[in-house]
Structure 1
Amino acid sequence: MHKLDHNDYLALRENCKVIEQDGFGDKVMILQDGTFLKLFRRKRLITSAAIWPYAQRFADNAKKLEELGIPCPKIIQVYRIPSIERDAVHYHPLPGRTLRDIYRGDTEYPDDLRERFAKFVTHIQDLGVYFRSIHLGNVVLTPEDELGLIDISDMKIFRRPLSQWQRKRNFVHMRKDERDIEWLNLSER
Structure 2
Amino acid sequence: MTQQDFLALSEGARRLESDGFGPKVLALADGTMIKLFRRKRLISSAALFPYASRFARNAQKLHQLGIPAPVVIQVARIDGMARDMVHYRPLPGETLRELLEAGLAAERLQALKAQFTRFVIRLHDAGVYFRSLHLGNVVLTPEGELGLIDFSDLRVYPWRLGSYLRARNMRRLQGIDREREWFDRAVVLAAARKRRGGH
Judge which range, 175-184 or 87-96, deviates more: 175-184
Residue of structure 2 equivalent to 1:98? 95
Distance 2:168 2:21 in 1: 29
Residue of structure 2 equivalent to 1:49? 46
Distance 1:145 1:183 in 2: 17
Residue 175 of structure 1: how far off its partner (Å): 2.2
Residue of structure 2 equivalent to 1:128? 127
Are the structure 2 counterparts of residues 104 and 185 from structure 1 closer, same or farther at C-alpha, using a change threshold of 3 Å?
Answer: farther
Q: Which one-letter code corresponds to 1:11 in the other structure?
A: A
Q: Which one-letter code corresponds to 1:132 in the other structure?
A: R
Can you list the C-alpha shifts for 1:90-144, whole angstroms capped at 9, x where unaligned?
A: 0000000000100110455464100110110011110000100000000000000
Q: How does 1:32-111 map to 2 (within 5 A)?
A: 32-106=29-103, 108=105, 109=108, 111=110
Distance 2:38 2:130 in 1: 20
User: Gaps spanning 5+ residues in structure 1: where?
Assistant: none
Q: Which one-letter code corresponds to 1:96 in the other structure?
A: G
Distance 2:117 2:182 in 1: 12
Are the structure 2 counterparts of residues 171 and 60 from structure 1 closer, same or farther at C-alpha, using a change threshold of 3 Å?
Answer: same
Are the structure 2 counterparts of residues 184 and 161 from structure 1 closer, same or farther at C-alpha, using a change threshold of 3 Å?
Answer: closer
Residue of structure 1 equivalent to 2:163? 164
What do you get for the CA RMSD once the two structures are aligned? 1.5
Task: Name the TM-score, length of structure 2 as normaliser.
Answer: 0.87
Residue of structure 2 equivalent to 1:178? 177
Distance 2:181 2:109 in 1: 17
Name the larger-Rg structure.
Answer: 2
User: Gaps spanning 5+ residues in structure 2: where?
Assistant: 186-199
Checking the alignment, whether the CA contact within 8 Å between 2:13 and 2:27 is kept in structure 1 is yes
Checking the alignment, whether the CA contact within 8 Å between 2:59 and 2:69 is kept in structure 1 is yes
Distance 1:182 1:131 in 2: 18
Residue 16 of structure 1: how far off its partner (Å): 0.5
Which of the pair is proportionally richer in helix?
Answer: 2
Distance 1:36 1:68 in 2: 23
Judge which range, 19-28 or 170-179, deviates more: 170-179
Alignment coverage as a number of residue pairs: 183
Judge which range, 166-175 or 77-86, deviates more: 166-175
Distance 2:17 2:30 in 1: 18
Distance 2:2 2:104 in 1: 43
Task: Name the TM-score, length of structure 1 as normaliser.
Answer: 0.92
Q: Which one-letter code corresponds to 2:57 in the other structure?
A: D
Checking the alignment, whether the CA contact within 8 Å between 2:116 and 2:183 is kept in structure 1 is no
Tell me the SS of whatever aligns to 2:88. strand
Q: Which one-letter code corresponds to 2:157 in the other structure?
A: F
